[in-house]
Chain A
Amino acid sequence: MNALDPSVAMVVPEADASGPPVPLLAVESLAVEFRTRSGVVHALEDVSFSVNKGETIGVVGESGSGKSVLFYAVLGILDAAGRISRGRAVFGGLDLTQATAAELEAIRGREAAMIFQNPRVALNPIRKVGHQIEDVLARHTSTPSAQLKKRALEALTAVRIPDPERRYHAYPFELSGGLCQRIMIAIALACTPSLLVADEPTTGLDVTTQAAVMDLIGELARRRNMATVLITHDLGLAAEYCDRIVVMHAGHVVETASTTELFAHPRHPYTAKLIATTPHGTNDLRSLAAIPGNLPDLRRSDLPPCRFSERCDRVEPVCQTSPLARQAFSAGHTVACCRPI
């Protein structure tokens, strides 16, 4: 199949009555490693999950758990030191891990877009934001150059930027963080992708702006039937906006469940602890429990099968020896733990 052909790459198989829907993005047993001076970092190991069309999933875990790297790998924007050592990532029928650089370039920004944290530094500081939107439009659409500005202004209007005509000529340093994040969203959504990966989109924004940005993403996703992946360390944020949550720890997916199921019955000790560390309206700040220990050093050659075992209070000798089994509890609720709760 030719990914450069828009009519082909856009095809996302529809669900039919006979079986489960074919996911928009299916990641299977993905492993990523980084070669560094001090050894090979096994950043991701056996990562599997899927994103359905129009669905919003949250990828949750503490800093360094591999959330961002996972999607850098899927979209082919890993650093030169990193490489996918195993697994597949099938997006719209194409295995992205086998795709050529040109195929990936053609998909990024058109079919699957990504926005980042700290929007002020994530935009080119010396290029007008309007031109940055036009760059993406010119790259992925056949918009005639005379129409580019009109399309860019439409993209600015779509993310509800007031006075788009004036903002078109602005540089990122002239705009607030919230406006810059809207510009990022405008760039990402300019070509109406079917998947948006939002990597901590609200980090570095103040609380009211956070809510506005998240509501904007949610609304645009609903209106365009766009699947959204929200990468965050904030379980509360994920609970509010996501249909399903994927919990990651040290490069492993430890638990996947629908949001309600995950909060009602967390099965993995890490998830349970993560929920206990998340403040919400009713709990006392003093009752928040910190998770002991740190992420294990992923360069170690003697990493236990369960990378959480060294921080886990339910640990048993079997956790350090037997291979990590993934168990399904109910439809769509899977846990990678030898002694689930």
Chain B
Amino acid sequence: MWQLIGRRALAAIPNVIGIVVVTFVLTRALPGDPAAFYAGPAATQEAVEQIRTKLGLDQPLWRQFIDYLGDLARGDLGLSLSTGQQVLDEILRRLPASLELTLLALLVACVIALPLGILAATRPGSWVDHACRLITTLGVSLPIFFTGLLLAYVFYYLLGVAPPPVGRLDSMFSPPPQWTGFYLIDSLIAGDLALFRAAAAQMVLPVATLAIFVLAPIARMTRAAMLGVLSSDFVRTARASGLSSGTVLYKYAFRNAMLPVVTTMGMVFSFMLGSNVVIEKVFAWPGIGSFAVDALMQSDYAPVQGFVLVMALLFVAINLMIDILYTVIDPRVTIDA
């Protein structure tokens, strides 16, 4: 098992190198001149040139790239020009906010989508099946920013049951002492139930928005995979052996259907990382997505590079996890496959 993880991690190294190169080139290819931006509209040509030299932007590209690699090796993602903070610190501070949202939404989506998909597959044509189809159609056809705005409009503005979309905590609360960076967990560690409730209340709408978005592909894939497996020969054998329907459904059918579902979950998680950018804007969530958008608007290279790099590393980590899950579920997957 450890050998497998090691090999897969090694295989990810070329990906990471590629990511570093592409991020570097892409950020340089963006329109806008950061030197001019920082010098301000009234700056003279000399002042702009001065700033350009200071930022190292007058160097040839390869020279800038080598400097960038050297910084990376020291764990230095550079300074954010707009906030004056170290990008690494900024990202580490904001990453838990994004992850807490994403992971919780994925959990919620799975808790709803897996049983829904199974029920729909075992009772094709029933009302559960139709409900499953309706929900998945809605989930894929509603754009995520629209769902987010709609939920905020209905539950905060019209009904007033949800707290205002102002980020992770109402201004009346101060964040819990940091252990994991996840407010829900940290507030429980601090034993502060009121704080837990406040943090949870803030999460309801953004989590619901994200969960509705990813519920659809998971439920659809579960239903399709279960339908395929339930009509397979080995399920017929299990039924012919008189195994109880529960055993047939879970030990035989569901475990086999998990394979494509796990793949889907990996893909869905990647979508969610991307959608975070939108969700965080809608709900004023202080995550890394909104950070990256702000930086991009201001031609602030370093945070954008850092953001893309962190996202790419997360991607690689998720794929590694899915590979490992696969080998746990399916004995046919070998280390070399």
Task: Determine if A53 is an interface residue (Cβ-Cβ < 8 Å).
Answer: no
Q: Are B252 and A184 in contact (CB under 8 A)?
A: no
Is there contact, CB below 8 Å, between B234 and A139?
no
When the two chains form their complex, are residues B237 and A187 in contact, meaning their CB atoms are under 8 A apart?
yes
B233 with A173: CB separation less than 8 A: no
- Asked whether A13 is an interface residue with its Cβ less than 8 Å from the other chain, the reply is no
B72 at the A interface (CB under 8 A)? no
Are A140's CB and B240's CB within 8 A? no
Contact at B243–A114, with CB atoms within 8 Å?
no
A126-B329, A135-B251 known; A114+B240 contact, CB < 8 A:
yes
**Which of B124, B233, B252, B255 gathers most chain A CB within 10 Å?**
B233
Query: Does B44 reach chain A (CB closer than 8 Å)?
Result: no
Which residues does chain B contribute within 8 Å of A188, judged by CB atoms?
241
Q: Is the CB of B237 within 8 A of A116?
A: yes
**In whole angstroms, how far apart are the Cα atoms of A75 and B232 in the complex?**
18
- Contact between chains at B241 and A136 (CB < 8 Å): yes
The answer to whether A126 and B255 touch (CB under 8 A), given A105-B244, A136-B243, A171-B332, is yes
Does any Cβ of A come within 8 Å of B331's Cβ?
A: yes
Say yes or no: is B27 at the interface (Cβ < 8 Å to chain A): no
> Which residues in A have their C-beta under 8 angstroms from that of B31?
none
- Among A83-91, A92-100, A117-125, the stretch in contact with B: A117-125
Question: Would A136 and B242 count as touching, CB distance under 8 A?
Answer: yes
Residues of A within 8 A of B330 (CB): 125-126
In the complex, whether B130 has a CB less than 8 A from a CB of chain A is: no
Contact of B256 among A116, A124, A136 (CB under 8 A): A124
Pick the most buried of A105, A109, A126, A187: most chain B CB atoms within 10 A of its CB: A126
Task: Say yes or no: is A107 at the interface (Cβ < 8 Å to chain B).
Answer: yes
Question: Nearest Cβ in chain A — how far from B131, in angstroms?
Answer: 19
The yes or no answer to A127 lying at the interface (CB within 8 A) is yes
- Decide if A123 touches B234 in the complex (CB within 8 Å): yes
Tell me, rounded to whole Å, the shortest Cβ–Cβ distance linking A204 to chain B. Answer: 11
Closest to A101 in B: B245
Residue of B nearest to A139 (CB): B243
Q: Which residues of B contact A173 (CB under 8 A)?
A: 331-332
User: Is A249 on the interface with B (CB-CB < 8 A)?
Assistant: no
Known: A116-B236, A173-B332. A124 touches B252 (CB 8 A): yes
Q: Which of B237, B240, B242, B256 contacts A139 (CB 8 A)?
A: B242
Chain B, residues 252-268, CB within 8 Å of chain A (1/0): the string is: 10011000000000000
- Choose from B233, B239, B243, B244 the contact partner of A121 (Cβ within 8 Å): B233
- Which of under 10, 10 to 19, 20 to 34, or 35 or more describes the interface residues of A? 20 to 34
Cβ contacts under 8 Å, B242 to chain A: 104-110, 136, 139-140
CB distance from A56 to the nearest CB of B (A): 19
Give chain B nearest CB distance to A202 CB in angstroms.
Answer: 16
A211 at the interface (CB under 8 A from B): no
Q: How far is the CA of A129 from the CA of B43 in the complex (A)?
A: 77
- Name B's interface SS: helix
Cβ contacts under 8 Å, B245 to chain A: 101, 105
| Residue in A closest to B247 when the chains form the complex, CB atoms | A135
Q: Using Cβ atoms and an 8 Å threshold, which residues of chain B touch A80?
A: 124
B contact residues around A116 at 8 Å (CB): 233, 236-237, 240
**Assembly CA distance A77 to B240 (angstroms):** 7
Shortest distance in angstroms between A283's beta carbon and chain B's nearest beta carbon? 35
Q: Is A113 on the interface with B (CB-CB < 8 A)?
A: yes
Known: A127-B252, A135-B251, A171-B332. A122 touches B241 (CB 8 A): no
In angstroms, Cα B133 to Cα A185, docked, is 41
Nearest A residue to B238 via CB reads A124
Contact A139 B239 (CB under 8 A): no
The one of A108, A123, A187 that contacts B239, using a Cβ cutoff of 8 Å = A108
Q: What residues of chain B lie closer than 8 Å to A114, measured between beta carbons?
A: 240
- B101-150: which residues lie under 8 A (CB-CB) from chain A? 124
Chain B residues with Cβ below 8 Å from A107 are 242
Chain B residue at minimum C-beta to C-beta distance from A79: B231
Is the pair A125, B332 in contact by a Cβ cutoff of 8 Å?
A: yes
What does the 1/0 interface line of A192-204 toward B look like (CB < 8 Å)? Answer: 0000000000000
Q: How far is the CA of A156 from the CA of B185 in the complex (A)?
A: 51
B239 engages A77 (CB within 8 Å): yes
B155 shortest CB reach to chain A, Å: 40
User: Can you name the residue of chain B whose Cβ is closest to the Cβ of A136?
Assistant: B241
User: Which residue of chain B is the closest to A117 with respect to CB atoms?
Assistant: B233
Within 8 A of B (CB), among A140-155: 140
Q: B234 → chain A, closest Cβ, in Å?
A: 5
| Chain B residues within 8 Å of A110, by CB | 242
Docked complex Cα distance between A118 and B237 (Å): 11
A126, B236: Cα distance in complex, Å: 15
A106 to B241, CA, bound (A): 9
Tell me the nearest residue of chain B to A75, going by C-beta.
B240
- What residues of chain B lie closer than 8 Å to A75, measured between beta carbons? 240
Given contacts A126-B329, A126-B330, A136-B241, 16 further A-B contacts (CB under 8 A): A75-B240, A77-B239, A80-B124, A101-B245, A105-B243, A105-B245, A109-B240, A114-B240, A121-B233, A124-B256, A125-B332, A127-B252, A127-B255, A139-B241, A139-B244, A171-B332
- 9 A-B pairs with C-beta separation under 8 A: A105-B243, A107-B242, A108-B242, A118-B233, A121-B234, A124-B237, A124-B238, A139-B242, A171-B331
Give me the interface of B with A, judged by CB distance under 8 Å.
Answer: 124, 232-234, 236-245, 247, 251-252, 255-256, 329-332
Closest 9 CB pairs of A and B: A109-B242, A108-B242, A109-B241, A114-B240, A122-B233, A121-B233, A124-B234, A105-B242, A136-B241
